[in-house]
Amino acid sequence: MSGYAYAGLAGLQLVGGYFASQNIKETAQINYDIAQMNAEFAELDAYDAEIEGYGEVAKYQSIIDKTLGEQQAILTASDVDVTYGSAAEIQKETRFVAELNQMEIQKQYEERALGYTRQARDYRFNAFLDLGQAQTRASSVMFQSVIGASQTGLKGAYRSGLFDEKPEGSYSNLRDSLTGY
């Protein structure tokens, strides 16, 4: 094979390495963009979970109000003063338990929202790491293509006789004069 053929092969190796490197980078960027979009969706889910929690607390408040109203109606029908004594304590305890239940409902939805927020953070963090790893892989591919092209070019130059002429004063000439070759 001629020296030109080896030069052409070396060029193809460089071009192939460049395009492979670019492909790795572009794929990583697309994956990064997808992860960012997924993170935004997770943040929207977190917002929706919080809003849903407020809605559930509001629904439960209507149940509380209904329960308190029924208690007052029953106690009033029994001719019991709801503002005094055990009747007042029943109403107070109902309000207390209801408030605890509302807090628990809100907490459950806040934990759900926090889970979505963590998921969004994980999407972003992993996307950042993957992008960095892709940059490293792309650099490695490009470096390997440069090494391969250099080897191909040197092999072509050697086989085409480019290294047969030894410049005056080179190490190989010194070695040859000392050994008699």
Domain map (residue ranges) of the chain: 3-163
**pTM more than 0.85:** no
The reported pLDDT for the residue numbered 76 is: 87
Statement: residue 174 has pLDDT above 60 = no
Token pair, residue 17, equals 């390495």
Which CATH fold topology does 3-163 show? Helix Hairpins (1.10.287)
Confidence bin at 2 (pLDDT 50/70/90): confident
pLDDT tens-digit profile of 115-166?
999 999 999 999 999 999 999 999 999 999 999 998 888 888 777 776 666 5
Confidence bin at 83 (pLDDT 50/70/90): confident
* Per-residue three-class SS string for the chain: CCHHHHHHHHHHHHHHHHHHHHHHHHHHHHHHHHHHHHHHHHHHHHHHHHHHHHHHHHHHHHHHHHHHHHHHHHHHHCCCCCCCHHHHHHHHHHHHHHHHHHHHHHHHHHHHHHHHHHHHHHHHHHHHHHHHHHHHHHHHHHHHHHHHHHHHHHHHHHHCCCCCCCCCCCHHHHHHHHHCC
pLDDT tens-digit profile of 14-69?
999 999 999 999 999 999 999 999 999 999 999 999 999 999 999 999 999 999 99
